[in-house]
Structure 1
Amino acid sequence: EEKLGTFTWTAATVYAALIAAARFARVFYNRERHEILVRAAADLKAAMISQLYDPEKGRFLRAIYPDGSRDTIVDSSMAAVFLFGAFSARDRMVEETMASIRAQLWIGTDVGGLARYENDEYQRISPDLPGNPWFICTLWLARWLIARADGPGGLDEALKLLEWSVRHSQPSGVMAEQIHPFTGSSVSVSPLAWSHAEFVIAVCEYLQKRREMASAEENRMAKEPGSCF
């Protein structure tokens, strides 16, 4: 909404749309359309790797602009590469990208939380911080931690971010767009439906991952000699 270009976020959402359309084609037994859409999605994913991933910086770029310039600002929206299914949360490129996001955008105050992108001037409280903490961006980090978790311990950090979201909501449960990096009070639009939506999605994904882990543990125990399962 701020600049014109080819964004990693947009490419990731288009990839998801192509895959969804391909699934519809398969449901309606349109093999030709299914193959075209799957191939288009594969081509787009390949282009994301060749054009939007920077191996020297070890992360995806925010965007490429019409003049060919590359936007290297660390932006939480680059989490889209796994959010919409283009890449696994454990893919090396995703791991590197999310590590950069966490390192550059985490708010180093008692409040914590993740900023939107480096030097975000919108409603900015302090020039000494990358921006204000956003519920949405912090919950994207939680969703990545959930997606990559391979054991109950791997979910602990994600749970802390879910608790962070609850703790910084208003007493009524309303979540704002941003919060003040020093006081934790609501900043900008409140309530913001997107903040609530990301919280619901993150909680559902957390619970689903817990169920999957519990089921896997039960199956493991059932296969052990002498198990009473």
Structure 2
Amino acid sequence: MKLVPLPLSTGPDCGDQQYKVRSKTGKLWFDALNDTSYNITSIKPQAQRLIIRLPSLANDKTAIASDFRSHGILLDDDLPFNITGSNTVIVMNCSSEVLQLSWNCSMKSPCHNYIKGKANVASACGNSPISCFFKTGGSVNEYRIRVRKERCSAYESFVNLDVSLPVSKWPEPGVEIEWASPQEPTCRVDAYFIVFCKFRVFGRFRIQDCRSEKVLVQGWV
């Protein structure tokens, strides 16, 4: 049984509900937008990071990602998760439109070594006109890694990749995601007025002498 570190939550009674992950059939899943889910392969609590496994190609004959219909990974920017800058993304079956971007699409880029080194990828993407790679980081891909017909239809990602290594020594594919620290609870201060009274008796008369004091009570919301 794998323990899920706080603040991640697998149910309404544990963790922070802004940090939901899903447990199913003994595996943890990260839910993104457009009804897509990705298997969580590792969690680093101290670094506040997790790695998700990308789906493979739709099949060995077409250079199309399995999540092509959802346009790749799209995170909800209202939640405390974002894609880190530690990912090297290889995009395949691209149009000439990507040549205007700051991606490495040269024939010497490591994406071509990857395509040649993986039999199933070579079968599907070996004849792709253009393949490129880029590093994540910055606002452009802080919450998404996109695939679409107008640019690239297939992709793969590797965390902390050393592109100088042969493909056989590359790590398992994945995308690293980090979470922000939970917000500190808000301090609430309520003010109350307490009335103090004294009674004095002079013969048949009873005199009441009262004063009020303001008291501050502090608590957490």
> Which interval holds the TM-score relative to the shorter structure?
under 0.3
Rg (Cα) greater in structure: 2
Which has a greater percent of strand? 2
> Relative contact order (C-alpha < 8 Å, sep 6+): which is higher?
2
Name the TM-score, length of structure 2 as normaliser.
Answer: 0.27
Name the TM-score, length of structure 1 as normaliser.
Answer: 0.27
